[in-house]
Structure 1
Amino acid sequence: MIDARGGQSLTTGSLEAAEQYQLAVDRILGSETGAAEALDRALVLDSDLALALAARYMLAKDANSADADGFKERALMAAEAALPWERAHILALFALLEDPYSNLAATEAYIAGNPSDLLVISQLCGYLIFYGGARKLERVLRIMESVDPSLHDDWACLARLGFATSEAGDRNRGRVLVERALRQRPQAPYVIHSYAHVLHDQGKPEESLDLLGNWLNEHRLSAEGGAMYGHVQWHLALAEWQLGLAEQAWQRYERYCAPEKTRCGPVLTLADCGGFLLREYLRTGTTRPVSAAVSALSERFRSMLSHPFIALHLAGIQASAGDLASLEQSRAAIATREPSDQTRLSLCLVDAIGQFARGQYADAAESLKSVSVDQRISVGGSRVERILIDLLEARAVELAA
């Protein structure tokens, strides 16, 4: 059996097992439901299919499942009898999953020699989007531009290249690329999510409202229950919020996107929660008590406050609740960390949000004025986060006047 994307042979005696593996990869790249089930079917047919075991480990680890280590051990054992390219893929994927920061250079070297390995490429770019620093926009775009030319019309590549292109500033080209991906794979939550980002970058919430509403009406049954479903709903809530449909946006957030409801991973859940609550607080100035689930989510990330992305969203939650004591505790926790560019930026963001929450709007505006464009990029996440910082600064300036 030949791998559909890479054109390389797969080590298995079962054609159906190979087909189920490739179906699972499509579902992983599309953030679609049913990937784990497809891998499980593949492993029933061939329990030693190393690539399926590796992918199953990736999903189990992401879900914090108790059986993750078992899949890892089986994958490494099966890799001993697999082809060299399969072993290289598994080792690169596992290194990135286990310690992405220490293995960034090795992973980039791997994909330079294996430019059709979209599974590893997507994992690497996903990490860089959150933690790639000030040069991440160019870095992610360069990686996606280097993908094997044979995949330049592949929907999974197009969606990621379009996202990266828009993030790096060429929003019109990014939109064209994502639209091509959507025509090929209209049911994929990842693709519609990329499109939502492009429309947000273009400042077109009306189009986003129509696009996402129509997509959810058509694909709700297949998308509901998937890890990306709540985040797609969040983008629709964001478009509603931008258009002044505040109550509608709030109801959508509570129904689909809040930590009690979403099935997104913890980092994306924090971003959706903190980003929405802070925006609504900036709009109204009204504080709301947080739920037990939000408190639990906040506690989970308290030890990671030295990362600006975490600091921004956690402080946003605290400000939205009027919890000045927790904001002070967050500031104190960051101040105890070893000084670095990242910890200083985290401290600046928490200071600015705390000043805003205390009504010290001129001080908040002054604090944010010192945050450069490169620093705003290095916060992590997408342009959605950079616009959130811009909104905070603009609102502080407005209220200070």
Structure 2
Amino acid sequence: MIDARTGRPLTTDRPEAVERYLLAVDRILGSEAGAAEALDQALALDGNFALALAARHMLAKDSNAADADLFKERALLAARAALPWERAHISALFGLLEDPYTNLAATEAYIAANPSDLLVISQLCGYLIFYGGARKLARVLNIMESVDPSLRDDWAWLARLGFAASEAGDQDRGRALVERALRQRPQAPYVIHSYAHVLHDQGEPGESLELLGAWLNEHRSSAEGGAMYGHVQWHLALAEWQLGLTEQAWQRYERYCAPEATRCGPVLTLADCGGFLLREYLRTGTTRPISAAVSALSERFNAMLSHPFIALHLAGIQASAGDIAALEQSKAAITAREPSDQTRLSLRLVDAVSQFARGQYAEAADTLSQISADQRVGVGGSRVERILIDLLETRAVELAA
């Protein structure tokens, strides 16, 4: 049997197992529910299917499941009898999962030799979006542009290239690409999520409200079990919030997106929580106590404050609660780390949020004015985060006047 995207043979004599594996890969790339179940079905047919075991390890590790290491051990054992390209795929995928920073060069070399392996390409670009630094926009776009020509009409590639093009500044191209992907795979949360980002980049909350509302009405039953469902709801809540539908936005956020409710991974949950709470605090100036779930989420990331993305969202949560003491503790924790460009940027962000929370608006505006455009890209995440920093700066300037 042949892998549909790479065009290479797979080491299994069970065609049904291959069908289940390829279905699972589509569901992974689409952030759709049922990927793990499809892989389990493939493995029930062929327990030594190396690529299925590797993908199952990835999902188990992502969900912090107890059997993640067992799937890894089984994949490595099965890989001994697999084809060389399958072993290379597993090595690249596991390298990204275990230590992406150390394995960046090796992963890029693997992709150059295997430009149709969209599963590894998507994992690499997902990492770079958060941790790729100031040059990540061009880097991710270049990686997506370098894929094998056979993928040029592949919905999963189109959605990712559209996202990357919009992030890099070409929203019109990004939108056209994502619309092509949506026509091919209308049920995929990843595709509609990419579309939501493009509309946010274009400053079109009204269109986002209409698009996401219609999509959720049509695909809710198949989407709500997936890890991306809460984040799609968050984009709709953000559009509502931008349009002044504040109570509606809050109800949606609390029902689908808050740490108590979402099935998103921890980093995305932190971004959705911190981003929403900080936006509302900037608009109203009203603080509100945080829930036990938000407190637990914050504690989970306290050791990662030296990363600007984490620092921005944790500080947003702390400011929204009026917790000046927590902001001071965050500043102290960052200061205690070994100085670097990253820790200095984290400290500047927390400083600015802390100054704003203290009512020192002119100082906050001045602190933020010292963060360059490249540094704002280096914070990590998407244009959503860069716009959040812009909102903080604009509001500080307004209140300082």
TM-score range, shorter chain: over 0.9
Whether 1:382 aligns to 2:386 is no
Counterparts in 2 of 1:85-124, with a 5 A limit? 85-124=85-124
Cα displacement string for residues 30-53 of structure 1 (whole angstroms, at most 9, x for unaligned residues): 000000000000000000000000
1:282 correspondence with 2:278: no
| 1:164 corresponding residue in structure 2 | 164
**Take 1:225 and 1:3, find their aligned partners in 2: how far apart are those partners?**
27
Instruction: Give the match for residue 4 of structure 1.
Output: 4
Q: Number of aligned residue pairs: give it.
A: 401
Q: Give the structure 1 partner of residue 154 of structure 2.
A: 154
Corresponding residue for residue 395 of structure 1: 395
Correspondence for 2:324: 324
**2:235 aligns to what?**
235
Within 5 Å, give how 1:79-90 maps onto structure 2. 79-90=79-90
CA distance in 2, matches of 1:268, 1:335: 25
What is the one-letter code of the residue matched to 1:2?
A: I
Distance in 2, matches of 1:376 and 1:203, equals: 19
Q: Which amino acid aligns with 1:210?
A: E
Amino acid corresponding to residue 136 of structure 1 in structure 2:
K
Superposed displacement of residue 251, structure 1: 0.7
Distance (Å, rounded) in 2 between the aligned partners of 1:41 and 1:334: 46
Amino acid aligned to 1:120: V
1:141-169 Cα distance to aligned partner (Å, 9 max, x none):
00000010110100000000000000000
Specify the code of the residue in structure 1 equivalent to 2:357: A
Determine if the alignment matches structure 1 residue 254 to structure 2 residue 258: no
Matched residue, 1:338: 338
Show the 5 A alignment for 1:165-204. Answer: 165-204=165-204
Counterpart residue number, 1:357 = 357
Q: Secondary structure at the match of 1:71?
A: helix
Shift of residue 263, structure 1, vs aligned partner = 0.3
1:137 CA displacement: 0.1
Q: Distance in 1 between matches of 2:237 and 2:221?
A: 19
With structure 1 as the length reference, what TM-score do the two structures score? 1.00
- Name 1:31's counterpart in structure 2: 31
Equivalents in 2 of 1:277, 1:147: separation in Å?
38
State the alpha-carbon separation in 2 of the partners of residues 256 and 352 from structure 1. Answer: 30
User: For residues 395 and 275 of structure 1, what CA distance do their matches in structure 2 show?
Assistant: 15
Deviation at 1:96, TM superposition (A): 0.6
Q: Which residue number in structure 2 is paired with residue 48 of structure 1?
A: 48
The runs of 5 or more residues in structure 2 that have no matched partner are none
Cα deviation digits, residues 177-223 of structure 1 (max 9, x gap): 00000000000000000000000000000000000000000000000
Q: Which amino acid aligns with 2:256?
A: Y
Task: State the Cα distance separating 1:335 from its structure 2 match.
Answer: 0.4
- State the SS of the aligned residue for 2:119: helix
C-alpha separation in 2, matches of 1:295 and 1:152: 44
Distance across 1 between alignment mates of 2:2 and 2:350: 52
CA distance in structure 2 between the partners assigned to 1:294 and 1:158 by the alignment: 35
Question: What amino acid sits opposite 1:255 in the alignment?
Answer: R
User: Which amino acid counterpart does residue 63 of structure 2 have in structure 1?
Assistant: A
CA distance in 1, matches of 2:10, 2:109: 23
Per-residue deviation, 1:171: 0.4
Q: In structure 1, what is the Cα distance between the partners aligned to 2:196 and 2:5?
A: 26
Task: Find the counterpart in structure 1 of residue 77 from structure 2.
Answer: 77
Residues in 1 aligned to 2:333 and 2:8: alpha-carbon distance in whole angstroms:
50
Aligned counterpart, 1:310: 310
CA distance in 2, matches of 1:391, 1:310: 18
Displacement of 1:240 after TM fit? Answer: 0.5
Letter in 1 for 2:325: A
SS in 1 for 2:123: helix
Deviation string for 1:43-67 (max 9, x for gaps)?
0000000000000000000010110
Task: State the Cα RMSD in Å.
Answer: 0.4
Q: Which amino acid aligns with 1:27?
A: R
Counterpart residue number, 2:67: 67
What are the equivalent positions in structure 2 for 1:196-235 lying under 5 Å apart?
Answer: 196-235=196-235
Quote the sequence identity (%). Answer: 85
How far apart in 2 are the matches of 1:397 and 1:252?
30
SS at match of 2:11: coil
2:128 is matched with 128
TM-score for the superposition, normalised by structure 2: 1.00
1:76 deviates by 0.4
Deviations 1:45-98 (A, max 9, x none): 000000000000000000101100000000000000001110000000001100
d(CA) in 2 for partners of 1:386, 1:325: 26
Q: Which residue of 1 aligns with 2:244?
A: 244
Moved beyond 4 Å, runs of 4+: none
- Which amino acid counterpart does residue 304 of structure 1 have in structure 2? M
State the shift of 1:255 in Å: 0.5
Structure 2 letter corresponding to 1:212: L
Offset at residue 225 of structure 1 (A):
1.9
Partner SS, residue 322 of structure 1 = coil
Q: Render the CA deviation track for 1:295-316: whole Å, top value 9, x for unaligned.
A: 0000000000000000000000
In 1, Cα distance between equivalents of 2:204 and 2:342: 32
Distance 1:224 1:64 in 2: 20
Worse-matched range after superposition: 243-252 or 266-275: 243-252
